Chains A and B, each alone.
Chain A
């Protein structure tokens, strides 16, 4: 818990450096076989990212909170944003993320790990909104000691709203 609080304080203080701030709402559809048939089980999440450039490369760092097979987790995300199409009507980018996650348990400390890749589209007319879809892999070593659902490959779809340009 102290780790999470420290994480939040660090993130708050780093906000003053933010060039652009986005709030993302995520859905993570899991294509799982339950009850002898395929079902889609969506987990949800929320993340706050601040964007910056280093040596001409677009990067973003953020904090993500989401529901997952082991309850909830918070993660520190590092993104690299690669341009694909920079047109006059739309901008298409590929966003690749590394997630260093902290599963939220009162009585167990553990660190998880995740990777995700997504395509993000933005319209010039709707400057503040971006829509994206992709895949995410999540892993929690400690939960793997008791559960068969400690590694997940899932979809990731969502909307990104620009809070500050």
Chain B
């Protein structure tokens, strides 16, 4: 009987730990500068002075964000996608610290997170409020005890109207955890308002299309094509980072 219980425990572990395999459209050889067991780097870090660190969603392979983030690199900006054990950011919340330490020539850091990765990115920012100039959340919101009201950087929260996990209600309920919030309709409104935290609902968007890994089980159907949702997402992120 005891052994059967052990097996049930292992079975639950196994069945609950499947990840989503990337379904990519990008040319990986040209997109990825380097890949190690701890991160994937897009863009050239040798000349970059600004960087974006990405925390992937829970049980989503980090390569699934290449399509989205590939267009955000330029001569001055590089992107690091963090790899977490078992693809769970909760296991190593301050993984970004090692990247910042290793690439000390980069002067401006921003952090972005999707889903569980977004919640963990909020925790990372809370612990390093002076380090990050921008925090971007994709279908994500901070955990209950996380207070970002005294964070002086900018926050951009993008969420899909058809997201069944981080529903619009849940995302909007997190507003009191941020400083000076406002809803925006267009990327051009970023940095033109007397505000620090921008919320934008992607009409017809869902949870899965922030990455490239197919439709997540339990997520709502998107009215947008994946590349359309990702293009909208990139436009808003660029507006925030280029400012």
Q: Do these two chains interact? A: yes
Alpha-carbon gap, A74 to B17, bound state (A): 10
Given contacts A41-B38, A146-B28, 10 further A-B contacts (CB under 8 A): A8-B14, A48-B6, A70-B19, A71-B19, A71-B59, A105-B19, A106-B217, A108-B21, A142-B21, A146-B63
Alpha-carbon gap, A39 to B39, bound state (A): 13
Min distance, Cβ A81 to any Cβ of chain B, angstroms:
21
Alpha-carbon gap, A4 to B7, bound state (A): 13
Query: Is A164 positioned at the interface, with any CB of B under 8 Å from its CB?
Result: yes
Q: Quick check: which of B95-103, B131-139, B149-157, B195-203 contacts chain A, the rest being far away?
A: B95-103
Residues of B within 8 A of A148 (CB): 35
Most buried by B among A11, A63, A105: A105
Alpha-carbon gap, A116 to B206, bound state (A): 43
Q: What is the count of residue pairs linking A and B with beta-carbon distances less than 8 angstroms?
A: 107
Most buried by B among A74, A107, A163: A107
**Chain A residues within CB distance 8 Å of chain B:** 1, 4-5, 8, 11-12, 15, 21, 23, 30, 32-37, 39, 41, 43-44, 46, 48, 63, 65, 67, 69-72, 74, 104-108, 142, 146-149, 163-164
Contact of A65 among B3, B10, B85 (CB under 8 A): B10
Tell me how many residues of B have a C-beta within 8 Å of chain A.
39
**Chain B residues within CB distance 8 Å of chain A:** 2-4, 6-7, 10-11, 13-15, 17-24, 28, 35-39, 59, 61, 63, 83, 85-87, 98-99, 101-103, 213-214, 217
